[in-house]
Amino acid sequence: MLNRYPAWKNGLIVLVVILGFVYSVPNIYPDDEAIQITTDSLALAESDLATVTTALEAAQVEFFGEEFSEESILIRFNTVDDQLIAKTAIEEALTDDYIVALNLAPTTPGWLQAIGAGKMNLGLDLQGGVHFLMEVDMNAALGRRMEDNLSNVRSILREERIRTRGTNVVDNSHLEIRFANAEARSEARSALLDNFPDLQFQNRESGDVFILDMRTPADVILQTQRDTLQANRTTIMSRVDALGVAEPTVQQQGADRIVVELPGVQDPAQAIRFLQRIATLEFHLEAEPGASPASYTTYTSPDGLVVDVDNEVILQGDRISNVRSTLDQNGLPQVQINLDAQGGNQINRVTRDNVGRMMDILLSETRSRTITGLDEEGNEIEEVEFYEDKRLISHATIRTALPRTFVITGLTAREANDLSELIRSGSLAAPMTIVEQSVIGPTMGRENLEAGFRGVLVASVLVLIFMMFYYRVFGLAANSALIMNILLIFAVMSTLIPATLTLPGIVGIVLTVGMAVDANVLIFTRIREELSNGMPPQKAIDSGYNRAFTTILDANLTTFLVAVVLFTIGTGPVKGFAVTLMIGIITSMFTAIVGTRALVNIIYGGRNIQKLSIGSYRLPDKSGIEAT
C-alpha cells in the first residue's frame, strides 16, 4: 500500500533509535578528578595503597573509588582542589620511584561499559592536555649507521690484513677508503662486498691514490628513515603507555616527525620528564693505558668507579633486538642481550681481538632541566629545557669473543632488572628533539567544549523552531530526524569509530545540523510542488520522496567524496572535521530520508486525506495561495 512501511522496516528504525540513544548516553556522565599512581620498575603492592590512603586521611582530603592493580592505583576526588592537595600529600608519602599523575576517571555505569558503550574521545582542544611534536634526527641516525659501517670496514680489513692509506666518512651516505695500489683495493673490495649488501661500491683514482667509495643508495636511505621513525614511535608508545594516560595519540607525521598527544594530562612537566627518558645505548672499549687523551672520555660508574672510555663506538644500541634479565646456572643475576645479524658480526669481530679488555656501555640520554615560569592564572609552573647526558651503566671484562647473544654478569638482581629495563625503554633508534610543544589547560579545554556545545544547542533550537513553523507537521518529522541525527553522530563517534572529537569536529557537527535539514527541505519542496501540480496528497508524498532521492544522493555523495579526500590527506583539525562530516552525511541520509518517511507514513499513510500540513503551497490552476 502507498506510504506504509512494512513492520520490519519500522522495527529496524526503532532499533537504530534505541541503539543511538544507549550508545550516546555515556557522554553525559562527567569524569571524576583522579590521581593515578604508577611505578617505574616493580609491581605495586597493597601496602602502597595503604600508605596512600593514610597520607590522604592525614591531609584530610576526601577521596573515593580506589582501584588497585599491580600496574596502577587510581583514586578519585570530588574537586580539583582536593585532587591537587592530594597529589602533594601522596608525593610526600611515596618515594621518587613512584609516578603520581593527575588524571580523569570515567563514571559511566558498569552495565553501559559492559555493552561497550563509552565516551567520545575528546581532543586536546576540548579536554586540555599536552601536545608534543618531536623530530627524529635522521642525519644522526644515518651518520651513526655510517660510523658503524666504518668501524666494521676497519676491522674486516684488519682481519684480512689489507693495508689502507686511511678511511673516513665523507657524509651520511658516503664512506671512502684509500689504498696505495689497485691490487689492495680490489682485494678489499671482494672482502667487503658480501658484508655490505646494502651499499654500492665504486672505484675512483685521485693522483696516485686508489679510492674505494661505498655509498648508501637512495632507496636504502629512505627505508632506513622509515624503519627509524617506526622504531622510535614504538619506543615512545611504550613510554606513553607506561604513563597510564587514557587514549594517548602517538602518530607519525611526515617523514621524520612524531606527534604525541596526551589528553587529560594536567601535569605536562611530568609527561615531558617521562618522554624525555630519550636514550640510546653505545658500546665502547675501555681506553688502553697511555692512549692519547683526545681519544677517550672519562666517566664515573654508579658505584664510583672512574673509567676512561674510548671514543670509538663499537656497537650502537639500535642493533639490539632483545634484552632480558635472567639468572645464570648458579642463580646469579645477569642481563642477556640479543643483537641483530649485523650487530652480532660486529661485536664478534671486535671482541675476538680484545679478549681480556673491558667493555663499557654508555647510556646517552636527552634530559630535561626544569625552570620556573608562569601559567595562565599567574601560578608558578615548571617549564622544561633539554640537554644531552651520557652515563656509564656497565663496565665489564670481555671473557670471550661475543656471539650474537651474550650476557652481562656481576650485577645485583636490582641492577640487572634496571639495566634491562633501561636498555629496553632507552633504545631509541635515533635521537629526537621536541620542535613544538603546547599545553592546553583543562579550563581552556572545558570552555571550548562548553562554548562549542552551546553553539550546537542554540543552533539546533533555532533550526527546529524554523522548521516547525515553515513545514508544520512535516517540520516536526524533520525535527525528530534532526535530533535523532545528532544522537546517532554521538553514538557512532563514541562506539563504532574511534574518532576523537575536536573543536573543528564540533563545527562539523554544527554544519551537519544546518545541512541535514537540506535533505528534508528538498523532499518537502518537492511534495509541495507535486501538490501544486494537482497531485493527490498520498501520491505527492511518495513522488516527493522518490524524486528528491536522486538529488540528495548526488549532493551527499559528492560532499562525502570531499570528506574522504580531506580525511585521507589531512591531519589534525582537518581530519577531525572530515570524520564528523562523513559520519554526519551517512546518519543524516538515514534519518532525513528513512526516519522522516517512517514518521510521515505513520501520520498520513494508508488514510484518505485531502490536505497535508506542510506549510503553504500554491494550489493547482489558481494563482492564489493555500495556507494550511
Partner 1 sequence: MILGREIDFMGVRKIAAAISAVLVVVSILALIFNSLQFGLDFTAGTSVRLNYSDTVILDEVNDTLANNGYEDAVVVSFGSDREIRVVLPVDEDIEVDDQAAQAVVVGETIAALLSDNSSSEVTLLGSDYVSAKVGEELAEQGGMGMLVALGIIMVYIAVRFQFKFSVGAVVALAHDVLITLGIFSIFGIEFNLNTLAAMLAIIGYSLNDTIVVSDRIRENFRRMRKGTPVEMVNVSLNQTLSRTLITSFTTLLVLFSVLLIGGETTQGFAVALIIGVVIGTYSSIYIASNVILYMKVTREDLMIPVREGADPEGTV
- Torsion sign (Cα): 20, 264, 446, 577: negative
Binding residue (CB under 8 A) for partner 1 from 57, 558, 606, 619: 558
Closest contact distance (angstroms) between CB of 311 and partner 1 is 23
Secondary structure (3-state) at 139: helix
Span 370-429, contacts to partner 1 by CB under 8 A: 371, 373-376, 378, 383, 385-386
Q: Does 556 contact partner 1 by CB under 8 A?
A: yes
Span 599-628, contacts to partner 1 by CB under 8 A: 616, 618, 623, 625
Q: Does 510 contact partner 1 by CB under 8 A?
A: yes
Q: Does 563 contact partner 1 by CB under 8 A?
A: yes
Stretch that binds partner 1, among 2-10, 39-47, 283-291, 562-570 (CB under 8 A): 562-570
String of contacts with partner 1 for each residue 18-47, x by CB under 8 A: ------------------------------
Q: Does 451 contact partner 1 by CB under 8 A?
A: yes
Which of residues 19 and 463 has its CB atom nearest to partner 1 in the complex?
463
Binding residue (CB under 8 A) for partner 1 from 291, 462, 496, 497: 462
Span 418-447, contacts to partner 1 by CB under 8 A: 433-438, 447
Binding residue (CB under 8 A) for partner 1 from 206, 550, 608, 610: 550
Stretch that binds partner 1, among 244-252, 323-331, 413-421, 500-508 (CB under 8 A): 500-508
Q: Does 565 contact partner 1 by CB under 8 A?
A: yes
Spatial neighbors of 66 by CB under 8 A, at least 6 apart, are 49, 53, 73, 74, 75, 76
Binding residue (CB under 8 A) for partner 1 from 276, 448, 494, 495: 448
Query: What is the spatial distance between Cα 335 and Cα 413, in angstroms, rounded to a whole number?
Result: 10
Stretch that binds partner 1, among 40-48, 244-252, 463-471, 591-599 (CB under 8 A): 463-471
Closest contact distance (angstroms) between CB of 576 and partner 1 is 8
Secondary structure (3-state) at 238: helix
String of contacts with partner 1 for each residue 244-263, x by CB under 8 A: ---------xx---------
Closest contact distance (angstroms) between CB of 226 and partner 1 is 18
- Assigned C-alpha cell, 200: 654500492
User: Cβ(86)–Cβ(35) under 8 Å?
Assistant: yes
Which of residues 171 and 450 has its CB atom nearest to partner 1 in the complex?
450
Give alpha helix (H) positions in 570-620: 572-589, 596-604
Which of residues 242 and 463 has its CB atom nearest to partner 1 in the complex?
463
Span 100-159, contacts to partner 1 by CB under 8 A: 125, 133
Which of residues 135 and 421 has its CB atom nearest to partner 1 in the complex?
135
| CA distances from residue 186 to 70, 209, 211, 213 in whole angstroms, order as listed | 61, 13, 10, 12
Closest contact distance (angstroms) between CB of 261 and partner 1 is 13
Which of residues 163 and 454 has its CB atom nearest to partner 1 in the complex?
454
Span 297-356, contacts to partner 1 by CB under 8 A: none
Binding residue (CB under 8 A) for partner 1 from 571, 619, 620, 628: 571
Closest contact distance (angstroms) between CB of 122 and partner 1 is 14
Binding residue (CB under 8 A) for partner 1 from 71, 92, 328, 554: 554
Query: What is the spatial distance between Cα 417 and Cα 568, in angstroms, rounded to a whole number?
Result: 43
Q: Does 267 contact partner 1 by CB under 8 A?
A: no
- Assigned C-alpha cell, 247: 587514549
- Assigned C-alpha cell, 23: 550508545
Q: Does 572 contact partner 1 by CB under 8 A?
A: yes
Binding residue (CB under 8 A) for partner 1 from 89, 467, 501, 541: 467
Sheet holding 320-327, edge to edge: 320-327, 333-339, 405-408
Stretch that binds partner 1, among 64-72, 149-157, 348-356, 459-467 (CB under 8 A): 459-467
Which of residues 125 and 418 has its CB atom nearest to partner 1 in the complex?
125
Closest contact distance (angstroms) between CB of 253 and partner 1 is 8
Element (DSSP H or E) covering residue 136: strand 129-136
Secondary structure (3-state) at 140: helix
Secondary structure (3-state) at 521: helix
Quickly tell me which residue has 534505541 as its cell: 18
Length of the chain as a residue count: 628
Query: ∠ CA 333-336-340 to the nearest 5 degrees?
Result: 175
Quickly tell me which residue has 635472567 as its cell: 326
Stretch that binds partner 1, among 85-93, 301-309, 414-422, 453-461 (CB under 8 A): 453-461
Sheet holding 129-136, edge to edge: 249-253, 257-263, 129-136, 432-440
Q: Does 501 contact partner 1 by CB under 8 A?
A: no
Span 161-190, contacts to partner 1 by CB under 8 A: none
Q: Does 521 contact partner 1 by CB under 8 A?
A: yes
Which of residues 18 and 462 has its CB atom nearest to partner 1 in the complex?
462
- Assigned C-alpha cell, 139: 642525519
Binding residue (CB under 8 A) for partner 1 from 452, 475, 537, 595: 452
| CA distances from residue 82 to 14, 75, 382 in whole angstroms, order as listed | 44, 11, 21
| CA distances from residue 384 to 153, 250, 372 in whole angstroms, order as listed | 41, 21, 8
- Assigned C-alpha cell, 155: 676491522
Binding residue (CB under 8 A) for partner 1 from 285, 503, 583, 598: 503
DSSP letter for 276, please: T
Query: What is the spatial distance between Cα 390 and Cα 65, in angstroms, rounded to a whole number?
Result: 43
Burial of 583 (0-12, 13-18, 19+ CB in 10 A): buried
Q: Does 583 contact partner 1 by CB under 8 A?
A: no
- Assigned C-alpha cell, 507: 563545527
User: Cβ(195)–Cβ(152) under 8 Å?
Assistant: yes
Query: What is the spatial distance between Cα 446 and Cα 440, in angstroms, rounded to a whole number?
Result: 10
String of contacts with partner 1 for each residue 272-291, x by CB under 8 A: --------------------
Quickly tell me which residue has 650485577 as its cell: 411
Secondary structure (3-state) at 529: helix
Nearest to 280 by CA among 308, 315, 255: 315
Query: What is the spatial distance between Cα 391 and Cα 277, in angstroms, rounded to a whole number?
Result: 13
Question: Applying CB under 8 A, what is the total number of residues that bind partner 1?
Answer: 75
Binding residue (CB under 8 A) for partner 1 from 23, 299, 577, 604: 577
